[in-house]
Amino acid sequence: MELRPLGASGIRVTAVSLGTMTFGSQTSEHEAHTQIDLALDHGINLLDAAEMYPVPPSAETQGATESIIGTWLAKDRGRRQRVLLATKAVGRGASPWFRNGNAKLDRANLLAALDDSLERLGTDHVDLYQLHWPDRKNNRFGELDYKHADDPDETPIEATLDGLAELLASGKVRAIGLSNETPWGVARFLQLAEARNLPRVVSIQNPYSLLNRSFEIGLAEFAIREQVGLLAYAPVGAGTLSGKYLDGTVPAGSRRAVDPRKSRYATPRADAAVRAYHEVAKRFGLDPLHMSLAFVRQRPFVTTALLGATTLAQLKHALLALDLILSDEVLQALDAVHRDNPNPCP
């Protein structure tokens, strides 16, 4: 599989990576291990986790995803050299079971969060350490209509960067990245890194799919010009582009069936867009899910598409798209649908 640079870190990641947020909830330890084996057999070299996983989040399961990856690594010492590990630290607004309800992206919290993650993973370092969401108040997870409010309790970005610099210097982290971040946030991280000779972020993990192309508006240029490549999560709209949720259907065992939180992809305009994309797939003889994943993988600002699956069968089906290249004709047809149905699931 194609290898792409992770910013200027010197690390190279595969164009598709394995997301793991169901490990420990919908996906058992045994099946999770089987998924990792299958992904690596297909050339994937990056596992993406988070201290918050699995989802939906709970005090009882928090950290289980990292622990399951850790038990997979523990089966063979050579496995750590075969795989890149990425994980994330939560910021303010996290559930109260994180660090006695005082989770922040300051030095003390970052050091504590990373050490806990390393213990669960059973390793002495992670290849990419990401901030799961900003510590300041901003729009994320589908929120619109930004309303600014100064917040004296937010952690200044320079303080966060100081903490991350210490983690890099310790050798416990090879590279740092952002997640659920805005253009202003990326610009500020880069500005402070340059002005204060602090480490640069090398990636941003944000949603990107045929149903949500908002990354293109303000962040794609940063990704290319500043080498802050996109780790695209939900590249098939959390399963929505498969069509399984059309007309309000909620299949048993699906994410929407087990997660009480409203899906950002369950919007009034989603069904029309999904149907239009399915028509394109039908016209060109493509599987809708494969087409959707290939679209994300081919974008010039995408470093890797994070592919997640609840079951091994779902992962096997999705992996059939690894070599699919969409023609210019298909891409033009997808753009036409987007013009008629712009970002139905922000």
Distance CA 342, CA 149 (A): 29
* 153: pLDDT strictly greater than 90: no
Is 53 marked active-site?
A: yes
Distance CA 173, CA 206 (A): 21
What is the tens place of the pLDDT at every residue in 258-304? 887 888 899 999 999 999 999 999 999 999 999 999 999 999 999 99
CA angle, 103 then 108 then 112, to 5°: 75
Confidence band, pLDDT 50/70/90 cuts, at residue 178: very high
Looking up tokens 């028509």 gives: 279
Residue 265 in any domain: the answer is: no
pLDDT given for residue 152 in this prediction:
83
pLDDT given for residue 267 in this prediction:
92
Residue 169 in any domain: the answer is: yes
Burial 311-344 (b: 16+ CB within 10 A, else e): ebebbeebbebbebebeeebeebbeebbeebebb
State the residue range of the domain holding 107: 3-239+299-323
* 1: pLDDT strictly greater than 90: no
What is the tens place of the pLDDT at every residue in 48-58? 999 999 999 99
Residue 174 in any domain: the answer is: yes
What is the tens place of the pLDDT at every residue in 218-250? 999 999 999 999 999 999 999 999 999 999 888
pLDDT given for residue 62 in this prediction:
96
* CATH number of the domain that residue 190 is part of: 3.20.20.100
**Residue 57, preceding peptide bond in cis (omega within 30° of 0):** no
Residue 111 in any domain: the answer is: yes
Confidence band, pLDDT 50/70/90 cuts, at residue 149: confident
Residue 50 in any domain: the answer is: yes
What's the rounded mean pLDDT across residues 119-136?
Answer: 96
pLDDT given for residue 139 in this prediction:
77
Distance CA 336, CA 338 (A): 5
Residue 334 in any domain: the answer is: no
Residue 303 in any domain: the answer is: yes
Distance CA 323, CA 136 (A): 40
Active-site residue identified among 53, 129, 208, 265: 53
pLDDT given for residue 298 in this prediction:
97
What's the rounded mean pLDDT across residues 69-81?
Answer: 93
Domain total in the chain:
1
CA distance from start to end of the chain: 30
DSSP string computed for 47-96: EE--TT-SSS--TTTTTHHHHHHHHHHHT-TTHHHH-EEEEEE--TT--T
**Mean pLDDT, the chain, whole residue set:** 95
* 197: pLDDT strictly greater than 80: yes
**99: which DSSP letter?**
G
- Could you count the other beta carbons within 10 Å of the beta carbon of residue 78? 8
Residue 184 in any domain: the answer is: yes
Instruction: Tell me if the pTM is above 0.85.
Output: yes
* 5: pLDDT strictly greater than 90: yes
What's the rounded mean pLDDT across residues 177-199?
Answer: 97
